[in-house]
Amino acid sequence: MIKKVGAILLLALVATTLFGSVALAQIDELERQGWCEDVTIRFFAGGTEGDAFAGIVYRGALAAARDLGADVEYVFSGWDSETMTQQLREAVAQQPDGIAMMGHPGNDAILPLAAEAAESGIIMMYQNVDVDQVRARYGGGYVGAQLYSQGRALAEEAIRQFDLTPGATVLVLVNLEQIERAQREVGVIDVFKENGFNVVNVDSPPEWAADPNLGIPSMTAALLNNPDTELVGFSGGQTLGNTQTYFEAAGLEAGQVKAIGFDTNEFIMQGFADDWIHLTSDQQPFLQGYMPILSICQTAKFGLAPLNVDTGAGFIDANNFEQVKDLANAGYR
């Protein structure tokens, strides 16, 4: 009996040392279903509920809320940065316990609102696009790919895989007006330029992510004006998934021009099967929904530091897309 009591006291001492002033009764909540039920969160999914990328992010957030019991309000912005900024302003004014924010508006737009959030004690997390200056000043974690390095790696892999002609034209969809969210595409551009390719930027406004068919006129013109194009680098899963529509509008056949980009969805999987799409870099958007909510809950309940998670998962191409096809088609990958 003495040994048993001593062991219990030792365990209590270790727990107190590890968790500081957190009571053992609170630690027990980790083993209880719905341990985050009294934490309120505003979660930004980025696009619209039905779009290919935001839909996966949303499912990840729904899963986290279900698993943890958090009280989550979901915010959809149509990938418009001004809309996101206004919605963030409204979210801060509502003073939830935490906000999981898409970083698309950039450092300058988010900084003053992050300051207000910090003053109010609101826990901040960011997903999909990092805002390094905001986090350095006011804290918060980041869940998403490391954008610039992800873009560079994609272009390097394309050069390695495909027999591209030095000096040939490469089209890259990019919106340079919002530089923080364009870092992946900038990485792609830099690598192709460094390797002697003629890079043509095709302006790709955020509206194309909500409705990729809006890009048909611009894509058709770019392809017709650059008949020596050997590869197109797309800016996201929505436009990459629309490759066949763009290429057929320009009179191209499957396999005639290589198509690379980011993300996975059911349209990209079909594009691989039909030889319209050839390489994509997966950033696991389900995690970008799940992990920010988990992090806010852990910080709110136990004072744990915010999570920083690189969700980049490597490359998917014609040789391995079958391994993720079922999950992609179901809207989880």
Which residues, 6 or more positions from 39, have their beta carbon under 8 angstroms from its beta carbon?
Answer: 70, 71, 97, 98, 296, 297, 300, 301
**Is 247:256 a contact under the CB 8 Å cutoff?**
yes
Given a cut of 60, is residue 70 above it in pLDDT? yes
Three-state helix/strand/coil letters over 273-314: HCCCCCEEECCCHHHHHHHHHHHHHHHHHHCCCCCEEECCCC
- Structural domains of the chain ordered from first start: 1-32 (no CATH), 34-145+285-313 (3.40.50.2300), 147-282 (3.40.50.2300)
| CA pair distance 40, 36, nearest whole angstrom | 9
| CA pair distance 293, 316, nearest whole angstrom | 27
- What average pLDDT score do residues 118-138 get? 97
Name residue 75's amino acid: V
pLDDT digits (tens, 9 = 90+) for 30-49: 567 899 999 999 999 999 98
153: which DSSP letter? Answer: H
* Range list of H helices, 170-257: 183-194, 207-210, 216-225, 237-240, 243-249
Structure tokens belonging to residue 96: 């939830």
Q: What's the mean pLDDT when you consider all of the chain?
A: 91
List, as one string, the DSSP characters of 232-249: EE-SSHHHHTTHHHHHHH
Q: Which residue has the tokens 């391995």?
A: 320
pLDDT at 29: 57
Which residues, 6 or more positions from 113, have their beta carbon under 8 angstroms from its beta carbon?
Answer: 85, 88, 89, 92
Given a cut of 70, is residue 167 above it in pLDDT? yes
pLDDT digits (tens, 9 = 90+) for 209-254: 889 999 999 999 999 999 999 999 999 999 999 999 999 999 999 9
Scored b (16 or more CB within 10 A) or e, 164-202 reads beeeebbbbbbbeebebbbbbbbbbbebbeeeebbbeeb
In 3D, which of 168, 156, 141, 174 has the Cα closest to residue 281?
156
pLDDT at 228: 95
Name residue 120's amino acid: S
| CA pair distance 308, 127, nearest whole angstrom | 10
pLDDT digits (tens, 9 = 90+) for 287-311: 999 999 999 999 999 999 999 999 9
pLDDT digits (tens, 9 = 90+) for 80-124: 999 999 999 999 999 999 999 999 999 999 999 999 999 999 999
What's the Cα-to-Cα distance from 262 to each of 3, 82, 241, rounded to whole Å? 58, 24, 10
H or E element, residue 170: strand 169-174
